[in-house]
Structure 1
Amino acid sequence: MADTAATLAFTTTSAFSIAGLFGALAFAYVGLVKLLPKTASRIDRLAFVWLAFDALIHFTYEGSWLYLSTFGRTVNGSEGPLADMWKEYANVDFRWGTADPTIVSIEILTVLCAGPLCCYIISQLIRNDPARHYWIIVLSTAELYGGWMTFCPEWVTGNPNLDTSNAWGFWVYIVFMNTIWVWVPLWLMWDSYRAIAGSLRSTHKAKSA
């Protein structure tokens, strides 16, 4: 592992990975323009783009990892562009190359539950169904917990599987690619809390009048 920090840098695989992220974001924006009513609020429009982006990442990037990491397969033993992408990520978090059972368990729920739930909430946004706020809180809580269970076992054991010595790998793959699934869910939970609490308080006030 001593040579990992020296060799890990921006590569063609890195460019492929980042291009895929921007492609998913562009696709999400097209969905916003085509599907969400023009009268939708700014917050709902941002939520739509995030949820569509979120679903695409769960289904494509994480779905590919799950396929490469189940039924005896591992990323390190696989070939192809997506395998190469995950091998590069595994240079900074070794568990993703070896089908770590904890990560596999988290990703099963992420791909098979969180991805479809994103799509369901998108359908509620399109219909302007206020019940979406409950499901946004469910989704956001699950994603925050998934992130916690991904990294907390590492922190309490001294980070044996993480290599943070390379600036590119640390700031892009570990920090950026993971913390966006902290800050955005927290923002969505806060917004949905305001909507639910505001509605309940208005109802309570009307009944008490």
Structure 2
Amino acid sequence: MATALDHPFYPPDLDPIGYAANTMSIIALLGTFAVAVAGVIGFSSAVLKAAKPNISRIDKILVGWFVFSGCIHFILEGYFVYNHKTMPRRLDLLGQMWKEYAKADSRYMTMEPFVLCMETITAFAWGPLCYTIAWMIVSESPHRHPTQIIVSMGQFYGDILYYSTSIMEEIYHGRSYARPETFYYWGYFIFLNAFWIVIPVFCIYQSYSKMVGAFRQASSSSIKKNL
């Protein structure tokens, strides 16, 4: 069984089978991730500028958000789902990124059932649908807001469960999956995941308001026709 001296994860008695230490530094991994994020957002902005220059600022931001979310869900989280059995020993770029993040949540190193199920739904349901919503925004599809509210609710609900299962494990069983350093818990676990609470809440509110407005307008038009 691996010990605290063999791996950087918490709790110390964790047994990440076949663990191999990362060969890339934290700075290199975070820098690569930041460049990838900037590239996705920059590419989305360039395409929008050419394809739909008159799009509103809010919709432009949301297109970037859903393309970015699609990449995180389908590529990064999909990678985890596909390789979850061998994550501790993987040394490719995405594998090392996951092992760095696992310092804040070691459940990704142990084939934990909740995390695996949650990530599977996120990767293969919400991931492709995020790309679809981005296209719906650009094409002004009437299906945009119903789909947006479904996906955003799924993201919000999944993130709340993700937070709560880890926090409740520590409260009730005294078992923490994050290293004691503040950076890992508040930087990785709390901050990075908070985007999938804050922005989906806005998207839910936006879509709910648009749908209510449309029903009110339709109801008002129907009443006027019957007068």
Tell me the TM-score range normalised by the shorter chain: 0.7 to 0.9
User: Which 4+ stretches in 1 moved above 4 angstroms?
Assistant: 1-5
| Aligned residues of 1:32 and 1:49 also touching (Cα < 8 A) | no
Q: How far off is 1:124 after superposition? A: 1.5
Q: Which amino acid aligns with 1:29?
A: S
- Equivalent runs, 1:1-209 vs 2, <5 Å: 1=4, 4=8, 10-35=26-51, 37-69=52-84, 73-158=85-170, 160-163=175-178, 165-209=180-224
Normalization by structure 1: what TM-score? 0.86
Where in structure 2 are there 5+ consecutive unaligned residues?
A: 10-24
Task: Return the offset for 1:111.
Answer: 1.2
What corresponds to 2:18 in structure 1? none
Check whether the contact 2:103–2:179 (CA below 8 A) recurs between aligned residues. no
Alpha-carbon distance change, 158 to 177 in structure 1, aligned in 2, over 3 angstroms: same
CA change 1:27–1:39 in 2 (3 A) is closer
Q: Is the 8 A contact 2:104 2:188 kept in 1?
A: yes
Structure 1 unpaired stretches of 5+: none
Larger radius of gyration: 2
The more displaced of 142-151 and 26-35 is: 26-35
| TM-score between the two structures when normalised by the length of structure 2 | 0.80
- Aligned partner of 2:12 in structure 1 is none
Q: Per the alignment, do residues 200 and 89 of structure 1 end up closer, same or farther by CA in structure 2, a change over 3 Å counting?
A: same
1:87–1:97 contact (8 Å) kept in structure 2? yes
What is the number of equivalent residue pairs in this alignment? 202
CA distance in 2, matches of 1:172, 1:29: 27
Q: Is the 8 A contact 1:91 1:163 kept in 2?
A: yes
Same amino acid, percent of matched pairs = 25
SS state of the match for residue 89, structure 2?
Answer: coil
Cα distance in 2 for residues equivalent to 1:38 and 1:30: 10
